């Protein structure tokens, strides 16, 4: 049970920027007519609202629920974010406790009933720093060192472009952008943790416009142990968040 709860927290702390579907087929051979990675990323930025819309905001709060139907587990999620890269996320599970991750702009910590307070280091810290970028949608080209368009694929019934993104710490992540809308529909990567790497598939669904930007209100995350459904209920921008919110927990 402890390993399951730790794996759950790793998945839920991956960011919401926050599910069983058919596995995509292998990408077809790269046709000459494929757009460049820059074109796909630029279309994504425009699809979610554009640079000016995002730069209107410097803080954001998210509240929602999470469910693992197969395990009969439900809880709540709260995320507080502040530009340029401060964030604190808390998953509350009744009868278990709070699982919190914090990044103060330089250092990161994890605090939960399973392992207590722990400072993040190495690749785990590097990945959390990247996920904490308040303008991550705008800064993909800065946050990854290389992009390669692999071809067309499918997420469910929707045609997508598969783009492989290389992180500064060396891992390769897979990004699936809808051909028609330009929205990011799926993100595959290996999450770093003290327990090792955890292969994770994240599906972004139910995009809705909020304050001029588009946000996936439903996120479904799949790993070899379980599937998690995260449903956002409230999003607020430019609310006052004191810097002390991101201090190291006592």
- Residue ranges in the chain assigned as alpha helix (H): 2-12, 37-47, 51-54, 122-131, 140-143
Query: Could you tell me which of 230, 213, 208 has the C-alpha nearest to residue 221?
Result: 230
Asked if residues 10 and 192 have their Cβ atoms less than 8 Å apart, the reply is no
Average pLDDT over residues 207-212: 97
Give the tens place of pLDDT for each residue, 52-105: 999 999 999 999 999 988 889 899 999 999 999 999 999 999 988 999 999 999
Q: Which of 6-15, 56-65, 221-230 has the lowest mean pLDDT?
A: 6-15
Give the tens place of pLDDT for each residue, 142-158: 999 999 999 999 999 99
Measured CA to CA in angstroms, residue 185 lies from 29, 74, 199, 233 at distances of 21, 24, 17, 20
pLDDT band of residue 185 (cuts 50, 70, 90) is very high
Predicted confidence at residue 14, as pLDDT, reads 52
Report residue 132 as tokens.
């904490």
Query: Could you tell me which of 190, 188, 177, 127 has the C-alpha nearest to residue 149?
Result: 177
Average pLDDT over residues 213-237: 95
Domain range list for the chain: 2-17+33-238
Predicted confidence at residue 250, as pLDDT, reads 82
Report the C-alpha gap between 222 and 211 in whole angstroms.
29
Query: Could you tell me which of 98, 74, 73, 75 has the C-alpha nearest to residue 88?
Result: 98
CA terminus-to-terminus distance, the chain: 26
- Range with the largest mean pLDDT of 15-19, 31-35, 117-121: 117-121
- Range with the largest mean pLDDT of 10-14, 27-31, 171-175: 171-175
DSSP lists the bridge partners of residue 126 as none
Note if the pTM is more than 0.85.
Answer: yes
- In CATH terms, the fold of domain 2-17+33-238 is outer membrane lipoprotein receptor (LolB), chain A (2.50.20)
pLDDT band of residue 210 (cuts 50, 70, 90) is very high
Predicted confidence at residue 194, as pLDDT, reads 66
Asked if residues 35 and 161 have their Cβ atoms less than 8 Å apart, the reply is yes
Report the C-alpha gap between 238 and 180 in whole angstroms.
31
């Amino acid at each position: 049970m402890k390993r399951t709860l730790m794996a759950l927290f790793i998945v839920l702390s991956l960011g919401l920027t926050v599910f069983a579907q058919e596995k995509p087929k292998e990408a077809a051979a790269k046709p000459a007519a494929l757009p460049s990675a820059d074109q796909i990323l630029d279309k994504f930025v425009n699809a979610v609202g554009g640079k000016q819309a995002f730069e209107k905001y410097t803080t954001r709060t998210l509240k929602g629920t999470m469910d693992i139907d197969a395990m009969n587990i439900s809880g709540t999620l709260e995320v507080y974010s502040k530009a340029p890269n401060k964030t604190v996320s808390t998953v509350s599970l009744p009868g278990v406790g709070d699982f919190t991750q914090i990044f103060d702009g330089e250092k990161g910590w994890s605090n939960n009933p399973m392992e207590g307070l722990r400072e993040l280091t190495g690749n785990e810290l590097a990945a959390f720093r990247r996920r904490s970028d308040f303008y991550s949608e705008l800064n993909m080209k800065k946050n990854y060192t290389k992009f390669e368009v692999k071809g067309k694929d499918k997420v469910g019934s929707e045609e997508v472009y598969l783009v492989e993104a290389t992180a500064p710490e060396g891992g390769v992540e897979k990004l699936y952008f809808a051909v028609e809308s330009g929205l990011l529909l799926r993100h595959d990567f290996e999450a770093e943790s003290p327990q090792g790497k955890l292969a994770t598939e994240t599906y972004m669904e139910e995009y809705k416009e909020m304050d001029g930007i588009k946000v996936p209100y439903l996120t479904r995350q799949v790993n070899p142990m379980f599937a998690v459904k995260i449903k956002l209920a409230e999003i607020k921008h430019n609310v006052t968040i004191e810097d002390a919110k991101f201090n190291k927990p006592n």
